[in-house]
Amino acid sequence: MLQRFVDNLLAVTKESVKTFTYESLINIARLINGVSALVLTILPGKTTILEGIHGWELRPTLRGPRLPRWMENGVSSFNKLVHELSMDTETSSDADSIAGEEDNEENIYPSSPLSQASRLSYSSTFSRYDRHFIRSIKFMISWILWPAVFLLRLPHIVFQLACFRRGGTVLTGKVCHISSPHQTRRSVHTKDHVVQRTTDRRRGVIEDLHLAIEIFIESAFETAHNVAHFLLSPSQLHRRLFGWFSSNGCTGKDNYGVDMNMVIPTNTLGDDEPTPTERQHTLHYSLNTDARTCQDVITELGYPYEAIRVVTSDGYVLLLERIPRRDSEKVVYLQHGILDSSMGWIANGVVGSPAFAAFDQGYDVFLGNLRGLVSREHVDVNISSRKYWRYSINEHAAKDIPAMIEKIHEIKTSELNKISRPDLDGEVHDQPYKLCAVSHSLGGAVMLMYVITSRIELKPHRLSRLILLSPAGFHDDSTIVFTLLEKLLLLLGPVLAPIVPGLYIPTRFFRMLINKLARDFQNYPALGGLVQTLMSYVVGGDSSNWIGVLGLPHYNMYDMPGVSLHVALHLAQMKRARKFIMYDYGSAAANIEAYGKPEPLDLGKNYELIDIPVDLVAGRKDKVIRPLMVRKHYRLMKKADVQVSYKEFEYAHLDFTFSHREELLAHVMSRLLLVAPTQKHHRAQGAVRLKPNGTQSTTESDDLEHSGTSEIVPYS
């Protein structure tokens, strides 16, 4: 009776302490959220700024909005199945949740706002804990309580010695199968892990604090419970201690006997070989942050994937990713902008992402990644930070893009020429495919620079069309914030470059903290709205979903895209010059060595070299690259007789990649479809030779329809 009374007293006290601490933590979070709401009410311009923060988040589920009209006849059978089942899945899940609530009315716990993980698994508390996090906390607590553990184990040691001296035997058992009420729930916990992998297992700072406090309370009351049992029933505690200390040989299991090394095999395309291989998925995220790669997102959504390592001429190792259609002659290359990666082109899931839309329309999709990762991938594994980040936009255009385009050319030429075609009679095509490029922001400026410099250097650029979404290049019409940054960079940039060569979050801890704070910003709308507004002020009032972008997997604790200080300085030089220029090396001698003249090359004056159609797209709400600056590209291209089109949408800067915009996808796909099919006798594109008298000449090309209306002079 006394033992039962003590157990009940400890149980009631433990639950009371847990409830008090949980409610206190939630009230503190609500207070912060409420104060944020009050501050938000007095900030000007918040209405337009907060337009983009709602209704978007990269989720690991397969659900999505209904198929847009332009994809109804071209979507893959897999995506049709997903969307046909989406409504049934939602209905069944709602019914299951209602039934679950009726069955568990006695265990109703409040959850943090908008936290799916909390609502799914709060009733089974430990099933949602990160096992590594729990073990680390228990390890620290065990070191604190080791004197008490030693005293409790002392009777067991004395008993074993006494039995040994008497020649007796000691009871042994299969310590890995100790009776526990949790063993019957093994399959349930395994299922919880799988469910949370396919939904959302991220936690914010507030949820982590709650987790740590609850683990501490559980450990403290467990110790108190053991001490009480030792005082009231030493023999029963002796048997439990015997089993506990003997079970140290069982490793690789969690508290419930679930093997944490268990893996889920999935079939994906290999990195180098087209044959399917087996890939292992673990059952946990690192410290419950979203660290998925582009490969994880693509394969989880049921698409094929291939990773290609590309080495530039100066030794940088780039990741060229692919959603392959090996027999397709239609190829699209997607190039991200500054502080971004290929994740931006797939961030909106099945029906909202340009990469998946192009694949469903029959394109072989390549996703480019520019140099500039915190991991500093280079052939020289010991390269210093100062040397790695020593590059400008010039290197993006003259090193990165050529390396990836040539790798695409090598792959597609090899694949398509191996396909048996009776009408070719053994003839080999130089370029048996049509390659289009879709670029955003800085990626647009890089692609323009690549085309112009390739023509000057008498090299084929292999492109058939450019689609530029809010391209960089001209920045003279910008906000006062960017003007101040320009002055600061031009003044301090040359001094800071040797000290701070790259701009990025330096340590794993701070990258993890940013990822978790982004989760808190989504859980608490007023706090997230305040941070969104303040971040928008920094970029001139742009209403892009900056909070949602911070939570993307490519900003994770292991790696993230950074930006070289020389790239930022290059943009400042463009803004000061009010021209689209190449990098100014700071002296006439250095510029002469690089360009043959004391001033950097003005790309805007060389737009007549562009021999392919260009489609420009601008956003009326874009405060980073305003529509006036995109129209400046358009006017110069029109003046140079480039075949160019211009279109505006009601978008902010990041809406072109990180928001589900059906009209944008429809426009991009319509421009891609304007590219004529590959001709039977296709030759490489013409290159420009600068004659001594300054005139231009070009080689003949079968793609004269892409050269605009400029005069073509045969080169011999």
DSSP β-bridge partners for residue 602: 581
Tokens of 310: 């590309």
pLDDT by residue (tens digit) across 249-295?
Answer: 444 444 444 444 444 444 444 444 444 444 444 434 556 777 788 99
The answer to whether 691 touches 697, Cβ cutoff 8 Å, is yes
Given this model, what pLDDT does residue 373 score? 87
Burial group, residue 154, by CB count within 10 angstroms (0-12, 13-18, 19+):
exposed
Given this model, what pLDDT does residue 128 score? 41
3-state secondary structure of 466: strand
Other C-beta atoms within 10 Å of 620: how many? 11
The answer to whether 241 touches 153, Cβ cutoff 8 Å, is yes
Residue 5 pLDDT level (bands cut at 50, 70, 90):
confident
Give which of 280, 304, 286 is closest to 294, Cα–Cα.
304
pLDDT by residue (tens digit) across 74-111?
Answer: 444 444 444 454 444 444 444 444 444 444 443 333 33
3-state helix, strand, coil in the chain (%, to 5): 50, 10, 35
pLDDT by residue (tens digit) across 294-312?
Answer: 998 999 899 999 999 999 9
pLDDT by residue (tens digit) across 564-620?
Answer: 999 999 999 999 999 999 999 989 999 999 999 999 999 999 999 999 999 999 999
**pTM check: above 0.95:** no
Most confident of 275-289, 371-385, 458-472, 545-559: 458-472
Given this model, what pLDDT does residue 703 score? 38
pLDDT beyond 50 at 131: yes
Query: What distances in angstroms separate CA 648 from CA 141, 607, 618, 651, one per listed residue?
Result: 60, 22, 5, 8
Strands 696-698 and 688-690: antiparallel
**Better-scored residue on pLDDT, 41 or 196:** 41
Given this model, what pLDDT does residue 537 score? 86
Strands 434-440 and 330-335: parallel
User: In this prediction, what percent of the chain has a pLDDT beyond 90?
Assistant: 36
Given this model, what pLDDT does residue 400 score? 97
Given this model, what pLDDT does residue 659 score? 78
- Written as one string, the DSSP assignment of 341-392 is -GGGGTTTHHHH-HHHHHHHTT-EEEEE--S-BTT--BSSTT--HHHHT---
3-state secondary structure of 434: strand
Cα torsion for 591, 597, 601, 602, to the nearest 10°? 130
Burial group, residue 422, by CB count within 10 angstroms (0-12, 13-18, 19+):
exposed
The secondary element (H helix, E strand) that includes residue 646 is strand 644-649
Residue 638 pLDDT level (bands cut at 50, 70, 90):
very high
Given this model, what pLDDT does residue 116 score? 35
Residue 523 pLDDT level (bands cut at 50, 70, 90):
confident
Cα torsion for 210, 214, 220, 222, to the nearest 10°? -170
Biggest alpha carbon–alpha carbon distance for the chain: 110
Given this model, what pLDDT does residue 11 score? 86
Given this model, what pLDDT does residue 602 score? 95
Query: Cα–Cα–Cα angle for 385, 387, 391, nearest 5°?
Result: 110
User: In this prediction, what percent of the chain has a pLDDT beyond 70?
Assistant: 64
3-state secondary structure 665-703: HHHHHHHHCCCCCCCCCCCCCCCEEECCCCCEEECCCCC
Strands 502-503 and 465-469: unpaired
- Written as one string, the DSSP assignment of 246-290 is HGGG--SB-TTS-BTT--EEEEEE-SS-SSEEEEEE-S--GGG--
Instruction: Please identify which residue in the block is written with the tokens 């209904």.
Output: 66
The answer to whether 624 touches 653, Cβ cutoff 8 Å, is yes
- Written as one string, the DSSP assignment of 550-577 is HTSTTSSSS--B-EEHHHHHHHHHHHHH
Give which of 509, 513, 521 is closest to 546, Cα–Cα.
521
**Better-scored residue on pLDDT, 620 or 481:** 620
Give which of 241, 291, 193 is closest to 560, Cα–Cα.
291
- How far is Cα 133 from Cα 288, in angstroms, rounded to an integer? 9
Given this model, what pLDDT does residue 245 score? 60
pLDDT by residue (tens digit) across 332-345?
Answer: 999 999 999 999 99
Residue type, 543: S
Tokens of 382: 């010991």
pLDDT beyond 70 at 553: yes
**For residues 542-563, average pLDDT:** 82
Burial 295-319 (b: 16+ CB within 10 A, else e): bbbbbbbebbbbbbebebeeebbbb
pLDDT by residue (tens digit) across 155-209?
Answer: 555 555 555 444 444 433 333 333 333 333 333 333 333 333 334 566 788 888 8
- How far is Cα 519 from Cα 468, in angstroms, rounded to an integer? 32
**For residues 493-508, average pLDDT:** 87
Tokens of 660: 């589900």
In this structure, what are the phi and psi dihedrals at residue 332, rounded to the nearest 5 degrees? -130, 135
Burial 204-227 (b: 16+ CB within 10 A, else e): bebbbebbebbbebbbebebeebe
Given this model, what pLDDT does residue 134 score? 59
**Better-scored residue on pLDDT, 220 or 683:** 220
CA of residue 418 relative to chain centroid, distance: 35
Given this model, what pLDDT does residue 389 score? 95
The answer to whether 416 touches 633, Cβ cutoff 8 Å, is no
Number of helical (H) and strand (E) elements in the chain, helices listed first: 25, 14
Residue 455 pLDDT level (bands cut at 50, 70, 90):
very high
The answer to whether 526 touches 36, Cβ cutoff 8 Å, is yes
Tokens of 595: 């360009």
Most confident of 112-121, 599-608, 658-667: 599-608
Given this model, what pLDDT does residue 538 score? 84
